[in-house]
Amino acid sequence: MTETIVSLYDLAITDDQQAMTLALQQAELGMFTTTPNPRVGCVLVKQGRIIGAGYTQPPGGNHAEIQAMQDAHARGHDPRGATAYVTLEPCSHFGRTPPCCDALIKAGVAKVVTAMTDPNPLVAGQGLQKLQAAGIDVIAGILQEPAHEMNIGFFKRMQHGLPWVRLKSAASLDGKTALHNGQSQWITGPAARDDGHWWRARACAVLTGIGTVKDDDPQLNVRAVDTVRQPRRIVVDSQLRILPTAKILAGGGTWVFTASQDDNKIAALQERGADVIVLPNVDNKVDLPAVIAELGRRQLNEVHIEAGSKLSGALIRAGCVDELLLYLAPNLLGDGRGMFDLPALTDLSGKYQLRLREVKQIGEDLRILARFH
């Protein structure tokens, strides 16, 4: 029996949660492309039907509300009197584009329902106030939790000036990421590896250490999923041991964080199109908290880390990691390389406590999302 596919525009909309769910599905369509802006979706509902839908375009393009109104007009509908369901408070300031709340007011919508207010200090409730002042009915807080998850990095950067840092590792059930000789391809299966590329694609940048670059010479780009935007590639390399021929430098635009002041090495990397940032700490290693702060200053919302146990452990010890993305394969490797280089504890009270966010089977492997706070 053939399953009937119902068009978005043929659905009967019966409540706010249903409409906001559809708006969130629109927002997901911009998962890989909106950075540094948030991922936002919008649907316009009139007389129980969706008359327009849209999501935020790449920077400089239309926001979700404008896309939805243009979609409505293209379909022969007038947004006047409609309800706009938006996954984030409509903006009230001039950025690369004019304020969306002004466009909604001009279009004559009767009501705006949003999942949550915008933490951007330039908005922060002012968009909703402007809509209310224009006589538009406003409701906020519908499906707030999934809307927050959609833009967890944007919210953290707006509130704390820092990106959301997700550290990925793939290991056997006994916690080994490679044999002692470095062999690691492949511990997990193809489905898990493809899934890892999806997480790369949603990030603003992929960060690794010089150890991984020397051992594996990775490209660290997205290949297993379709995306028009590749995340920025970042290398932490205290002494600038990276070779100008490294694959991660191909195409230019790679950021290299170092403690070295070697002008010749810096110049060689710059000739390859790399941006070299010198951030030493007192031990003449890269100041990791300063790196994360700099990434926030450079408007990165989500940073995806794929590094060896040494750098991974150092980032955890420095309090730089928000979330672990772990893939566990149903095999045992015995004595080998571990996931994180962390100091031995003498008391269990010193353990790093995490909160499980999700546990899901991906192919033959297990994917775990766990948060430090």
Residues with Cβ within 8 Å of 370's Cβ and at least 6 positions away in sequence, in order, are: 323, 324, 326, 354, 355, 356, 357
> Is 65 in the active site?
yes
Around Cβ 31, how many Cβ atoms within 10 Å?
A: 16
Q: Characterize the bridge pairing of strands 275-278 and 137-140.
A: unpaired
Q: In what order do the strands lie in the sheet with 275-278?
A: 275-278, 255-258, 232-236, 205-209, 302-305, 164-172, 323-329, 365-371, 355-362
Catalytic annotation, pick one of 28, 65, 145, 358: 65
Q: Single out the residue of 249, 239, 256, 188 nearest to residue 218, CA to CA.
A: 249
Catalytically annotated residues: 65
